[in-house]
Structures are given as C-alpha cells and as structure tokens.
Amino acid sequence: MGHPILNLVAQRIALGLLLLFLASGLIFIGTQILPGDVAQSILGQSATPEAVANLRKELGLNDPAYVRYFKWLAGLLQGDLGTALSNGKPIGEAVSYRFSNTIFLASWAALFSVPLAVILGLFAVQYKNRWPDKLISGVTLASISLPEFFIGYLLMFYVAVILGWFPSVSIPNESMSLLEKLDTIALPVTVLVLVVLAHMMRMTRAAILNVMQSAYIETAELKGLSPFTVIRKHAFPNAIAPIVNVIMINLAYLVVGVIIVESIFVYPGLGQYLVDHVSKRDVPVVQACALIFASVYITLNIIADLVSIIANPRLRHPK
C-alpha cells in the first residue's frame, strides 16, 4: 500500500477522467437531439433535397450516432477538435485564441476577487455582528441578488455611456499594451468580481466562524493574543479547506460562466464564440466548447478536492 494521500490523489484523478468521459457522452447526446437538420441549416431553406442528402453523406451524418461519437472521441484523444461546419476551418485554431482571451479575462477577475473576498471575510469575522460586518454582508448579498446581465448593462450605461470612463464594448487586440487591454476589459472584470465576490466572502466568514468555536481558539485567546492574530494564525489556516473549495468553484464559474458577460460586452472569448455558433447550429464547435468548459470545471474541482486533502493533517502525517 502507498501513502494514503497518494492513493486519494490517484482516485480523484481517475474519477475526474471518468467524469470527463461521461460529460463527453452527455454533450454529444445533447447536440444530437437538437431539433432541425445540420445540413439543411448550412445550405439554407432553398437547397434541393439532393444537395442536402449529398452534404449529409459528406459530413458523415448518415452514420449511426455511436459511430460518430467514437470518431469524435478518437479525434479528441489525438488533439483534433474537428472542423467548423460554418466556415470549414479547424476548430482548434479559433478555440486556442478565444480560450486564451477568456482565461485573460477570468484571471484578472480572480486576481481582484479572491484576495478581496478573503480580506473582507476576515474583516467581517473580526467585527462580527457590528456595523462593518453588517455593511459587508448587505453589500455582498445585494450584488449576489442581481443577475450579471443587469449589473453589466447598469455599468455600461452609467460608467461607459454617462461618465465615459471605460469603453462599453470590450474588444482587445494584440497591438494594445497591457494597460490598454486592462482599460478595455475593466467593465466585464468588474461584473465578474461583483458576481463571485459574495459567494467567496460569505464562505470565508462562515468557515472561520465555525473554527472559532474550537477549544484551541479559546486557548489562544486566553494567552492574551489579539483577536486579529487569533483569526490570522489559528482560525484561518484551519478553515482553509472549505474556503479553497468555494474559491475553486467560483474560479470555475469565472471561466465557464462568462458566456453572458462576454455576450453583453462583445468580448472575443470562448463564451461569445459558443453563442455565435449555437445560432449557426455548428454542432462540432458547440461540442468542442462545451467539452472545454466541462474540462475546466472538473479540473478545478479536482484541485479543490486535492487541496482539501493536503490541508488535512491526518492525511499528511498518517500513523
């Protein structure tokens, strides 16, 4: 038998691969049961039945569903995401550019939201049930209650149109400097930060308050340590597992849930690419984007699980 922590890591990775395989099956089934005919939508309503039949044969749509699924899976294992039906170009090239844009947007949102959530959570615990705690909780609950499209349009109208501080449309390009890119993505980043901040802050607060009931916290307080030192040195490290879990779930949302935000600000990310090709009924593109989003979500959840395992001293130091 190996080390318990290594066994658990191997189990989580194997479970993640199984979930990804099941997700690929669900994605394929979901795209196949969509109404309408792919060949007909490509050629248009005026196409002759012969032309539609020829295109169906060319695209392999006459093959049984399970044959098409395993062909698609075989291509994925070789790194081939397929070809877009709408323009005949490899999906991998477009996805690479779009996904890097989405990661750029999500990374800056995470860079602001994660430290801010932890700091606000610690601050709320220190001033529990006093006005700073109530103010932080009230503001974060208000932000979580509003849908992101509403926040997005509100910021677009007041900040971009009325005040003119930032552009209302976020389309960065390679010729821009980093500061110019940050100016371009300021509004979508603000929306994403407001959306995920409340979840992470409230979980940080709840996790630390739960740990504060422990006996060793009372011992630290009896030693005469300041409340902030007790929280920082004793409560926070022991509350890290649930905090990391909620942070990872929200980081996954920053990548997977950007579809609405990207659509509002016309940001050239993977979410906008997916929306564009759903309207064109470009099934291979929809499948590729959905699988990438599923991969990111599963991977970040596995990382959260592994961090929780590693943070457990009973697993790090087995008897």
Regarding whether 64 and 110 lie in a shared domain, the answer is no
Regarding whether 218 and 173 lie in a shared domain, the answer is yes
Regarding whether 18 and 125 lie in a shared domain, the answer is no
Q: What is the 3-state secondary structure (H, E, C) of the chain?
A: CCCHHHHHHHHHHHHHHHHHHHHHHHHHHHHHCCCCCHHHHHHCCCCCHHHHHHHHHHHCCCCCHHHHHHHHHHHHHCCCCCECCCCCCEHHHHHHHHHHHHHHHHHHHHHHHHHHHHHHHHHHHHCCCCHHHHHHHHHHHHHHHCCHHHHHHHHHHHHHHHCCCCCCCCCCCCCCCHHHHHHHCHHHHHHHHHHHHHHHHHHHHHHHHHHCCCHHHHHHHHCCCCHHHHHHHHHHHHCHHHHHHHHHHHHHHHHHCCHHHHHHCCCCCHHHHHHHHHHCCCHHHHHHHHHHHHHHHHHHHHHHHHHHHHCCHHHHCCC
| Number of structural domains the chain divides into | 2
Regarding whether 40 and 171 lie in a shared domain, the answer is no
Regarding whether 112 and 30 lie in a shared domain, the answer is no
Regarding whether 254 and 170 lie in a shared domain, the answer is yes
Regarding whether 126 and 8 lie in a shared domain, the answer is no
> Global pTM?
0.74
Regarding whether 33 and 143 lie in a shared domain, the answer is no
pLDDT tens across the length of the chain (319 residues): 456 667 777 888 888 888 888 888 888 777 777 666 666 666 666 667 777 677 667 666 666 777 778 877 887 777 777 777 767 777 777 788 888 888 888 888 888 888 888 788 777 777 777 777 788 777 877 777 777 778 778 888 888 778 778 877 777 777 777 787 888 888 888 888 888 887 778 777 777 777 777 776 667 667 777 776 777 666 766 667 777 777 777 777 777 777 788 888 878 888 778 877 777 777 778 888 888 888 888 888 888 777 777 765 555 555 5
Q: Is 147 domain-assigned? A: yes
Q: Could you tell me the CATH number of the domain that includes residue 159?
A: 1.10.3720.10
Q: Is 94 domain-assigned? A: no
> Domain range holding 47?
4-77
